Each structure stands twice: as C-alpha cells, then as structure tokens.
Chains A and B, each alone.
Chain A
Amino acid sequence: MSESPIDSLARATPPALAGRIRGLSDRSIAWLFVSPTILLLLAINIFPLIWTIRLSFTNFAANKPNAEVKWVGLRNYERILTDPDIWQTMQATAHFLFWSLFFQVVIGFTLAWLINRKFRGNDFVTTLIVLPMMLSPAVVGNFWTFLYQPQIGLFNYAVEFLTGIPASSFSMLGSVALAPWAIVIVDTWMWTPFVMLICLAGLRSIPDYIYEAAEVDRASKWRQFWTMTIPMVLPFLMLAVLFRGIENFKMFDLVVQLTGGGPGDTTLLTSIELKREAFEKWRTGYSSAYAIILFVTVFGLASIYVKALNKVKER
C-alpha cells in the first residue's frame, strides 16, 4: 500500500515538534486554531464596544485632545433619553422603518408571486426588476432629487398627469408632510427587488407535489395560497424583513443625499443624528452613549425577532 501525503508529512515532521504537538490535547489544538480569530474579533469588535461604553460615561471630545476628560456618570444617558429632539428622530426612524418594510414586503411578495409563474421573457423581466438594487445609494439619492424637483422632476409631472395637481405646486423633499414619504418611496423603489428575490427563492422551494395533492383534495386556489404558500414562504419573508430592518435602521447615505435630514428634522434618522453628534459636533462621550442606546435597542429587537423566526421555522 502506498503512503498517503498526510502520512509522509507526519513522518517528515521533526521528532521534537511532533512530540510537542502529540502532548497537546484536542481541546488545546482547537484553541490554538481559533485563538487568532478570537483575538481579531476581540480587537475589532469587543474592545471598541467596551471602549465606547467607557467613553459614554465621560465628556470626552475627540477634537479636543488637550481638554480634561471628566467622568460624568449617567448624565449623557439622561440627556439623551429626556431630549425631545432625540425622540423625534426615533419617531422619524420608526416611520421610515415601518412603512418602507411594509411596502417592500407587500410589493416584493406580489412581484415574486407574479414572476414565479412561467411566462415568456421571465428572466429578462426579473433582471429588469432587480436593477435598482444594483445602483449605489448615493447615485439613487442624487437622481431622485432630480426626479422630485418640482419644476423639472418626472415624479411631479407623473403626479400631475395622474391627479391634475400642478407639478410645481408641491415639493416632495421640501414639505414636512411629504418628505417622510419621499424617502420611503425611494427606499421601496431601490430595495423591493431584494425582498422579491428572497420571496422568489421561498416560492421556488415549495415542491410541486404539494400543490398537486391539494388539487386532488379539491382545495381552492385561495385556500392553497393561505394555507400552503404563505406559511411555507413566511420564514423567507421574515428573513427578508430582518435584513431590511437592520439595513434601514442604520440608513444614512440615501437620506442624506435626498433631504439632509430636513425639512427641519422631519427626516432626521437616528444614524444621521448620531453621525452629526459624533463627527460634526464632536461630542464623543455623548454620541457614545447614544450609540450604546441604539445598540441595545437593535440588539433587543433583533433577539426577539430571531426567536419568533425560529418558532415559525419549527412549525
């Protein structure tokens, strides 16, 4: 029997080293292999987190390296949680999050359901639909500012064509009432294809024989849809909502391009406010506390959601 490469490598290993390795337990060898990764994670994830927690109890300002850093206790947290402006940004974020997810799920699932039917040009239509999500958010933000322009924007002209409301009589980005919807529309336009693709994967994972069995049992199409299609696609749909929810909670670039947070603070999302506090106002301690509050919020919500997702998958 010829010698395998591993055997020959083992034979070539110097006796002293072989002995040393032989002396290690499996557990030690496992630690040896995973420790670089753990160290890396500690350095780039855990250490900054602990450092941020520490900074959140100080008045540290990164642009004033010579200033004395004072321990302020819970003052930063108290200021944030009692600041009505911060609650307004939370509300703006919640509005954006809820409605963009709602429209993306409804439209995304509908598109996936339609695309799932076999028709000529199916692949071409699918490619066409997913185009928006391939674009850079900065580019999308820029060209939608033109589309929303009251004097030359196609969006306003489309509204005029459909409703008779004069194009230059309203400004999607300048109106307090319309701006929150303007950013929802753009995000929906850009990211519905993502939800559609995930739903499509879910729909295509349902075996045909289940529908065939339902046909034999004379189940109506409506009943098939509600008792078979929806429950089987639901885990995929929930995964899409999780991904989009996390992404939209930290939404920044698109909205900065579109409104800069305005008019006033109408579209000032938490991530934009956090960036301003941290890197424009340079209130590092305060913004660290803000970041920790947001982290706990997202972490808590995501944990609850993942538990729900697992329950759905177990059904």
Chain B
Amino acid sequence: MKLHYTATASALALALGAASAAKAEDLTLCWAAWDPANALVELSKDFEAQSGVTMHFEFVPWTNFADRMLNELNSGGQLCDLMIGDSQWIGAGAESGHYVKLNDFFDANGISMDDFVPATVTGYSEWPKGTPNYWALPAFGDVVGWTYRKDWFERPELMAEFKETYGRDLAPPATFAELKDIAQFFQGREIDGKTVYGASIYTERGSEGITMGVMDVLYSFGFNYQNPDQPYDMQGFVNSPGAVAGLEFYKELYDCCTPPGMSNAYMGEGIDAYKSGQVAMQMNFAFTWPGFEVDPNVGGGKTGYLVNPAGPDGLQFAQLGGQGISVVSYSEKQDLALEYIKWFAQQEVQQKWWSMGGYSALRSVVEDPGFAASQPYAQTYLDSMAIVKDFWADPSYATLLQDSQKRFHDFVVAGNGTAQEALDGLVEDWTVTFEDDGKL
C-alpha cells in the first residue's frame, strides 16, 4: 500500500514537473497592434521552431498602447516577458526598474550596439541618453515621413497648371513652403470626379498624435527642447522665434489644406484618407509604407515617398518613431526572454524581418548595397533615419506629452490664442513638471 502511495506521488510530481516545465517554455511579447506586429508573429515562428518555446503576443491598439502597457509596468505586472515599448518610455523603464539592463548580456553574447543604426541606439536603447547604458535592443526603426500621389503629380494638365501658377515644376517638395503650395494647389480640386484635398496631418488629441505631427515640423524650424549647454533650460529654445514660426505654419497647413473633419486624426485616419484617394500628400510613420505598396488604390507605383522637407533656414529633421525590445524585470522568464533577443539580433533574422515589412535597425541590413533598391521606400527610410530627433524620453515623458498635446491642439485645432502663447505656456508646463521632479 505504501509503495502504491509512493508511486502515485512520484507520478504526480513528475506530471506537475512536466507541466511546470512546459509552462516555463512560454514567452509573452507585448507590443502595439499594427501591421509590423503581425509580421513579428510570423517571424517568431522561426524562433518557436528552433527553441521549442511557444510565443504568446499581447497587442494593444496605438491609442491605448501607452496607457495599457505603462499601467502594466507600473503595477509590476507579469503579463509581459518582453516589451517592445515606445522610444520615450526608456527613461521611465530604466529609472523605475521596469526594464533589465542589457549591457552584460550584450557583452556575453557578442551583441554590439555599434552594429545598429546610431539614431536607433540613442533613441531606443540608451538611458541616460548619450551614455553606454542599454535597456533595449533596437527592434523597429521608424520615422515620420510623407507619401504623395505620384500619379497625380505626373498628370500633364496638373503639371502645366501648377507651373503656370507657381512658376516651378510640380515635384516632390523639398521645403515646407513648397509642401504648403502643393497642398493648396490640390485642396478642393476635382480629380477623376472626386473632390480631393491637400494633405493629411496629425491632429489627434487623446494620446500623442498632434505632438508627433507638430514636432515633426518644429524641429526643422529651429525648435530645441533645451539649452544644449544647460539641461532643462527651455526658455528661448522651446519658444524660440523659429519654433513659433513652425507652429504657425502647422496651423496654416491645418486650416488651408486638410480634408474637412480631420480634427482628431492620427495614423489610422491618415492611412484611410490616403488610401481612399482623399489627399495628395500624407504625413505618417514609415511603418505605413509597405501597406501602400500593395494597396489596389495607391499601390503599384502610384505612391512616392518623401523625406520630411526642410524648414526656412535649411534645417531638416524628422520625428523619430520606432521601438526597442526590452526584458521586463518583473518577468520570471528573463533568461528565456534574453534568448529571444539573442535570436532576434542575428543578421539573417534581421534580414528576414526587413523582407517581411519590419524596419530593421541593423546596419549590415540597411547598409547592404542592395537595400536602397529593395523597396521603393527603402532609400527614403534611410535618408529619414539620418535626420531624426525624438520627444523627451525623460521618466516624466507622459506628463510632458499631455502638456504638449493640450497646448498644440488648443492652438492648431481649436484656434485659441497665438503660437507664441502656446509655446510660452508649454515652457511653463514643462518647468512645473521638472520642478516637481527636482530637476529644476
């Protein structure tokens, strides 16, 4: 009888052991719900086949992504083993202990940050910025750029009319002034029996939309977040005359040249406006570009891709998007999560990632001689990534972001006050936040 009990207990222990071992071979990766995430699911099947690990995915739509995932991190949740968090989260991820520091892991596995595009290392991995402290592996390079209706730009009658009106060819704009001219030219025009409009730009109020759009323009007009010689000194930088001119330009572009009803538009609305043939030009992140190439309405050579135009003084920058992949410090499967990162960092995996629509940040992929010609948008992506700037990645970024959302939307969409007042107010808001943080 005793033997019987012992055998039963052993069998039970084995079964439980096997069950827990099987459970340990699962990993959950958290990211935004968008096309690249679907590509990553496909790509990760190779990892599953090689490692025997089952991958689970938790994808949240962009407008709720920060809300949902920052809640998860702040509450020490164990839902995610791997987090592809937005670039601005890196400060909070590092300082609040949400992410595992990866320096030792990189050193032990021969992963060098020199092998990745410098802008993505600074943007997605480093905290504090400019120091060799890495909290993520660059996973998805992204940047705000423009698409335009190449087929409309090439119509002889439109080209002739534009030349007659503006005294130059109807060509992709090199400056924001040119972009506005073109947008005005198309605004309200009848093309193929449909009324079309100039451009779709970011105006979303709730999450980060209008800030991404406005900043994308302001950088090239001379906006700086702070005095380069004195951190957090913002007076005269955030609200410099150039920045004021840039914000006024954004409002003019919104007023003159966007389709009716685009008062709360972000990535999805931009994609819809462009694909449905409503707009001649569209501001959007590069992740949207592969989708246009295969779209029946705007694909097949009808779309051109454009680096963010230059400002009045020739400055040319673009808003950084994209994310790095981090190991969540609350995960009980950190070793397995690191295995995934090790696998993901491989050259052949990154090459496949690019071929599936994922924007690799590995230099050997993007600096390959064949890269620029591999897709119609590849060169534009490369050129754009060379001129990126990013929003505050400070631990208080969410507060700073909500302040800018409010100030920009209030001026650009609601039409309250002046650009100078909006930016002066932003300096005040940000100063309060940094004072609360003890940084001022």
B395 neighbours in A (Cβ, 8 Å)? 63-64
**A66-B96, A171-B261, A264-B409 known; A176+B74 contact, CB < 8 A:** no
A283 neighbours in B (Cβ, 8 Å)? 399, 436
As a 0/1 sequence over residues 240 to 266 of chain A, the CB contacts with chain B under 8 angstroms (1 = contact) are 000000000000000010011111111
Name the one of A150, A256, A265 contacting B406, with C-beta atoms under 8 angstroms.
Answer: A265
Q: Least Cβ distance of A109 to chain B in Å? A: 34
B416 neighbours in A (Cβ, 8 Å)? 176, 264
Name the one of B97, B261, B402 contacting A149, with C-beta atoms under 8 angstroms.
Answer: B261
Residue on B nearest A170 in the bound complex, by CB:
B260
Q: Least Cβ distance of B422 to chain A in Å? A: 10
B66 neighbours in A (Cβ, 8 Å)? 280
Looking at chain A's contact residues, is the secondary structure mostly helix, strand, loop, or mixed?
loop
A65 neighbours in B (Cβ, 8 Å)? 74, 96
In the assembled complex, A173 has its CB within 8 A of some CB on chain B: yes
In the assembled complex, A50 has its CB within 8 A of some CB on chain B: no
A256 neighbours in B (Cβ, 8 Å)? 206
Tier of interface size on chain A: 20 to 34
A148 neighbours in B (Cβ, 8 Å)? 261
Whether the pair B406, A174 counts as a contact (CB closer than 8 A) is no
Residue on B nearest A282 in the bound complex, by CB:
B398
A63 neighbours in B (Cβ, 8 Å)? 70, 74, 92, 96, 395, 398
Name the one of A62, A168, A262 contacting B409, with C-beta atoms under 8 angstroms.
Answer: A262
Whether the pair A174, B409 counts as a contact (CB closer than 8 A) is no
Whether the pair A262, B74 counts as a contact (CB closer than 8 A) is no
In the assembled complex, A281 has its CB within 8 A of some CB on chain B: yes
In the assembled complex, A56 has its CB within 8 A of some CB on chain B: no
As a 0/1 sequence over residues 261 to 275 of chain A, the CB contacts with chain B under 8 angstroms (1 = contact) are 111111000000000
Instruction: Give residues of chain A (148-172) contacting chain B, Cβ–Cβ below 8 Å.
Output: 148-151, 153, 168-169, 171
Name the one of B97, B206, B413 contacting A264, with C-beta atoms under 8 angstroms.
Answer: B413
Q: How far is the CA of A32 from the CA of B47 in the complex (A)?
A: 59
A62 neighbours in B (Cβ, 8 Å)? 74
Name the one of A64, A168, A263, A281 contacting B414, with C-beta atoms under 8 angstroms.
Answer: A263
As a 0/1 sequence over residues 107 to 131 of chain A, the CB contacts with chain B under 8 angstroms (1 = contact) are 0000000000000000000000000
Q: Least Cβ distance of B373 to chain A in Å? A: 38
As a 0/1 sequence over residues 10 to 54 of chain A, the CB contacts with chain B under 8 angstroms (1 = contact) are 000000000000000000000000000000000000000000000
In the assembled complex, B67 has its CB within 8 A of some CB on chain A: yes
As a 0/1 sequence over residues 122 to 155 of chain B, the CB contacts with chain A under 8 angstroms (1 = contact) are 0000000000000000000000000000000000
In the assembled complex, B264 has its CB within 8 A of some CB on chain A: yes
As a 0/1 sequence over residues 205 to 224 of chain B, the CB contacts with chain A under 8 angstroms (1 = contact) are 11000000000000000000
In the assembled complex, B262 has its CB within 8 A of some CB on chain A: yes
Instruction: Give residues of chain B (379-428) contacting chain A, Cβ–Cβ below 8 Å.
Output: 395, 398-399, 402, 406, 409-411, 413-416
In the assembled complex, B86 has its CB within 8 A of some CB on chain A: no
Whether the pair A174, B96 counts as a contact (CB closer than 8 A) is no
A150 neighbours in B (Cβ, 8 Å)? 260-261
In the assembled complex, B71 has its CB within 8 A of some CB on chain A: yes
Q: How far is the CA of A264 from the CA of B204 in the complex (A)?
A: 10
Name the one of A153, A175, A261, A281 contacting B206, with C-beta atoms under 8 angstroms.
Answer: A261
In the assembled complex, B364 has its CB within 8 A of some CB on chain A: no
**A63-B92, A263-B413 known; A279+B71 contact, CB < 8 A:** yes
Whether the pair A260, B204 counts as a contact (CB closer than 8 A) is yes
Q: Least Cβ distance of A27 to chain B in Å? A: 43
Residue picked from B66, B402, B406, most chain A C-beta under 10 Å? B406
B399 neighbours in A (Cβ, 8 Å)? 280-283
Q: Least Cβ distance of A264 to chain B in Å? A: 3
Whether the pair A263, B261 counts as a contact (CB closer than 8 A) is no
Q: Least Cβ distance of B440 to chain A in Å? A: 15
Q: How far is the CA of A93 from the CA of B258 in the complex (A)?
A: 30
In the assembled complex, A100 has its CB within 8 A of some CB on chain B: no
Residue on A nearest B70 in the bound complex, by CB:
A63
In the assembled complex, A313 has its CB within 8 A of some CB on chain B: no
In the assembled complex, B259 has its CB within 8 A of some CB on chain A: yes
Whether the pair A176, B415 counts as a contact (CB closer than 8 A) is yes
Q: Least Cβ distance of B254 to chain A in Å? A: 10
Q: How far is the CA of A263 from the CA of B409 in the complex (A)?
A: 6
Whether the pair B398, A280 counts as a contact (CB closer than 8 A) is yes
Q: Least Cβ distance of A122 to chain B in Å? A: 40
Instruction: Give residues of chain B (262-290) contacting chain A, Cβ–Cβ below 8 Å.
Output: 262-264, 278
A188 neighbours in B (Cβ, 8 Å)? none
Given A174-B263, A262-B205, 20 other A-B residues pairs in contact with their CB atoms under 8 A = A63-B74, A64-B395, A66-B96, A148-B261, A149-B261, A150-B261, A151-B278, A171-B260, A260-B206, A263-B414, A264-B409, A264-B413, A264-B414, A265-B406, A279-B71, A280-B66, A281-B402, A282-B74, A282-B399, A283-B399
Residues in chain A within 8 A of chain B (CB atoms): 59, 62-66, 85, 148-151, 153, 168-169, 171, 173-176, 256, 259-266, 276, 279-283
Interchain residue pairs with CB less than 8 A apart (5):
A174-B264, A175-B263, A260-B204, A261-B205, A263-B205
